[in-house]
Structure 1
Amino acid sequence: MALKDLFVKPNQKKKKYATIPTETAKNDVPEGIMTKCPSCKKIMYTKELAKNFKVCLHCGHHFQMNSRERIDSFLDENSFEEINENMISKNPLNFPDYLEKLEKDRQKSKLNEAVVTGIGTVNGNKIVLAIMDASFRMGSMGSVVGEKITLAIEKADELSIPFMIFTASGGARMQEGALSLMQMAKTSVALKRFSENGGLIISMMTYPTTGGVSASFASLGDFNFAEPEALIGFAGRRVIEQSIREELPADFQTAEFLLKHGQLDAIISRLELVEKITNILEIHQPGGELEW
Structure 2
Amino acid sequence: MSWLQKLTPPGVQKMFEKRDTPENLWVKCPISGEMVFNKDLEAAQHVTPAGHHMRIGPSLRFKYTFDGDYTEVDLPEVAKDPLKFKDDKPYTSRLAAARKKTGREDAMAIGVGSIKSIETTVLVQDFSFMGGSLGMGAGEGFLKACETAVERRTPLVVFTAAGGARMQEGALSLMQMPRTTLGVQMLKDAKLPYLVVLTDPTTGGVTASYAMLGDVQIAEPGALIGFAGPRVIEQTIREKLPEGFQRAEYLLDKGMVDKVVHRHELRTVLGNLMRTLLKRPAAADNTPARTE
When normalised by structure 1's length, the TM-score is: 0.85
Which residues of 2 match residues 269-280 of structure 1 at below 5 A?
269-280=262-273
**Which residue of the partner structure matches residue 72 of structure 1?**
63
Q: What letter matches 1:239 in structure 2?
A: V
Partner Cα distance (2:192, 2:76) in 1: 27
**Which residue of the partner structure matches residue 19 of structure 1?**
none
1:204 deviates by: 0.2
Given the alignment of the two structures, is residue 90 of structure 1 paired with residue 80 of structure 2, yes or no? yes
Partner Cα distance (1:115, 1:87) in 2: 12
Which one of 140, 165, 175 corresponds to residue 147 of structure 1?
Answer: 140
1:86 deviates by: 6.1
Which one of 48, 56, 62 corresponds to residue 53 of structure 2?
Answer: 62
1:244 deviates by: 2.6
Partner Cα distance (1:161, 1:86) in 2: 20
**Which residue of the partner structure matches residue 194 of structure 2?**
201
Given the alignment of the two structures, is residue 120 of structure 1 paired with residue 137 of structure 2, yes or no? no
Contact 1:127–1:162 (Cα < 8 Å) also in 2: yes
**Which residue of the partner structure matches residue 48 of structure 1?**
40
Which one of 237, 240, 246 corresponds to residue 247 of structure 1?
Answer: 240
Unaligned runs of 5+ in 2: 1-18, 283-292
Percentage identity across aligned positions?
39
Give the secondary structure class of the aligned counterpart of 2:175.
Answer: helix
Q: What letter matches 1:264 in structure 2?
A: V
**Residues 88 and 45 (structure 1), Cα distance of their counterparts in 2 relative to 1, 3 Å cut:** farther
Which one of 129, 133, 136 corresponds to residue 126 of structure 2?
Answer: 133
Q: What letter matches 1:122 in structure 2?
A: I
Give the secondary structure class of the aligned counterpart of 1:116.
Answer: strand
Which residues of 2 match residues 16-35 of structure 1 at below 5 A?
31-35=23-27
Deviations 1:61-96 (A, max 9, x none): 111111111011111222x21112463551111102
Contact 2:131–2:162 (Cα < 8 Å) also in 1: yes
Partner Cα distance (2:28, 2:137) in 1: 35
Unaligned runs of 5+ in 1: 1-26
When normalised by structure 2's length, the TM-score is: 0.85
Tell me how large the CA RMSD over aligned residues is: 1.8
Give the secondary structure class of the aligned counterpart of 1:233.
Answer: coil
Contact 1:89–1:113 (Cα < 8 Å) also in 2: no
**Which residue of the partner structure matches residue 287 of structure 2?**
none
1:195 deviates by: 1.0
Contact 2:76–2:141 (Cα < 8 Å) also in 1: no
Deviations 1:7-30 (A, max 9, x none): xxxxxxxxxxxxxxxxxxxx9965
**Which residue of the partner structure matches residue 102 of structure 1?**
95
Given the alignment of the two structures, is residue 180 of structure 1 paired with residue 170 of structure 2, yes or no? no
Partner Cα distance (2:71, 2:21) in 1: 38
1:208 deviates by: 0.6
Partner Cα distance (1:229, 1:112) in 2: 29
**Which residue of the partner structure matches residue 37 of structure 1?**
29
Contact 2:142–2:183 (Cα < 8 Å) also in 1: no
